[in-house]
Homo-oligomer: A and B are copies of this chain.
Amino acid sequence: MEKVIVALDAMGGDYAPEQTVQGAVNAVRSSSDIKVILVGKEERLKEELYTKCGYSGDAIEIVNATEIIEMGDVPTSAIKNKKDSSLVVAMKLVRDGKADAVVSAGSTGAILVGGQLVVGRLRGIKRPPLAPFVPTTKGFSLLLDCGANVDARPEHLVQFAQMGSIYYENVMGKKNPTVGILNIGTEEEKGNQLVKDTKPLLEQCGTINYVGSIESREIVRGAVDVIVCEAFVGNIVLKFFEGLALTLFDSLKQGLMSSLRTKIGTLLVKPALKGLKKQFDTSSQGGAPLLGLKGLVVKAHGNSTSKEIEIAIKQCVSFKKQKINEKIKESISE
């Protein structure tokens, strides 16, 4: 089978390039379907790849890029001005058909802007949503849009529902996934203007399994597979999830270390706690795709380690194998 080629923004993220390069090495070592192009400062990447990781195979190559987009850079000007940055060069590889996908743990804003300006939208797609999986008691739900393009219109949300359904079905292997719109109540009259205007359009949309409004307290119980919302709200829910889960586990840890008695108890319950922490880790799925672009763009968490980078790279395989973009194109242009 033809390999899936992933362009990795090797300089993006809190622990780049050490962890990004290590993640790439892990990915190609554990999967023969993948080729990775490391994009970034060549000398630095050579050192990491050959000297530190001791890699000598041919499933990873290096493409030089002299600049780095920093977290503080304004996204639009960074993409326009830093043409030789690792992110822009990686994205150009996708645009030019030299790679199937780009993975970056760098600035979310720059990835969103670059995805649209460099990789480009599929024809008919009005706005590409950032679509992370969020953990639930039943598995995962797709929450989209969690990007930075706020104040969406109803027709955007309908496309999010369509693309999200295709992505969920093909990645999670569940036929006809359920779709809900995030709302402040399930009654007919509930919702802000955007939700009220979007609901009838979702009801009329023949290609999705729309089940109605979903309240935020139902998200973690896995009430629906695909949750559609405007990006300001999605972003706030996602970050609140991260913040609350982290804080609860931190507070739990503190409480458990408060006395000898609880310390002994903690030794006994540790496996259960670890399992729970892992289950509700919002970054456990590696990265979030930006749907509706001409190639795949995956945004990994800024603090990704080699493990998350490896997962994000491997995600790209099923995206290509399942022909998700072809299916999106067919569905939207219907």
Chain A contact residues, CB within 8 Å of chain B = 74, 137, 148, 150-151, 182, 184-185, 189-193, 195, 215-221, 231-233, 235-237, 239-248, 251-252, 255-256, 258, 261-262, 264-273, 275-276, 279-280
Q: Is the CB of A240 within 8 A of B243?
A: no
Question: In the assembled complex, which residues on chain B have CB atoms less than 8 Å from the CB atom of A279?
Answer: 251
State the Cβ distance, A114 to closest chain B Cβ, in Å: 17
- Do B265 and A236 have beta carbons less than 8 Å apart? no
Residues in B whose Cβ lies below 8 Å from that of A190: 148
Most chain B C-beta atoms within 10 Å of own C-beta, residue among A182, A248, A256, A273: A248
Question: Of B219, B261, B262, which contacts A243 at CB under 8 A?
Answer: B219
Which listed residue, B237, B252, B256, B273, touches A236 by the CB 8 Å rule?
A: B237
Min Cβ gap A233→B in Å is 6
A150's closest neighbor in chain B, by CB? B192
Q: Give the number of copies in the complex.
A: 2
Known: A268-B262, A273-B255. A217 touches B239 (CB 8 A): yes
Tell me the minimal C-beta distance from A331 to chain B in angstroms: 28
A237 touches B235 (CB 8 A): no
Partner of A248, one of B218, B261, B262, B276: B276
Q: Which residues of B contact A240 (CB under 8 A)?
A: 216-217, 219-220, 237, 240-241
Is the beta-carbon distance between A276 and B247 smaller than 8 angstroms?
no
Question: How far is B10's CA from A293's CA once the two chains are assembled, in angstroms?
Answer: 57
**Residue A265 contacts which of B148, B239, B269 (CB distance < 8 angstroms)?**
B269
Given the known A-B contacts A184-B232, A251-B137, are A239 and B216 also in contact in the complex, defined by CB atoms under 8 Å?
yes
CA distance A184 to B239 in the complex (A): 9
Contact of A233 among B236, B239, B271 (CB under 8 A): B236
A224 to chain B, nearest CB (A): 14
A148/B184 in contact, CB under 8 A: yes
11 contacts between A and B (CB under 8 A): A148-B190, A150-B192, A184-B232, A218-B243, A236-B236, A237-B237, A240-B241, A251-B279, A261-B268, A265-B268, A269-B269
CB pair B262 A271 closer than 8 Å? yes
Closest B residue to A240 using CB positions: B216
Q: Which residue of B lies closest to A266 (CB)?
A: B269
Closest B residue, CB atoms, query A215? B239
Interface centre among A217, A267, A280 (most CB of B within 10 A): A217
| Given the contacts A192-B150, A276-B248, A276-B251, A269 and B256 also touching, CB distance less than 8 Å | yes
Tell me which residues across on chain B come within 8 A of A189, comparing CB atoms.
74
Complex: A235 Cα to B270 Cα, angstroms: 35
A264 → chain B, closest Cβ, in Å?
6
Contacts of A137 in B (CB 8 A): 247, 251
A150 CA to B242 CA, complexed, in Å: 25
Q: In the complex, how many angstroms separate the beta carbon of A227 from the nearest chain B beta carbon?
A: 11
A244 to chain B minimum Cβ distance, whole angstroms, is 5
* A256–B266 CA distance with the chains assembled, in angstroms: 11
Residues of B within 8 A of A74 (CB): 189
What residues of chain B lie closer than 8 Å to A243, measured between beta carbons?
A: 215-221
Q: A255 vs B249: C-alpha distance in the bound complex, in angstroms? A: 14
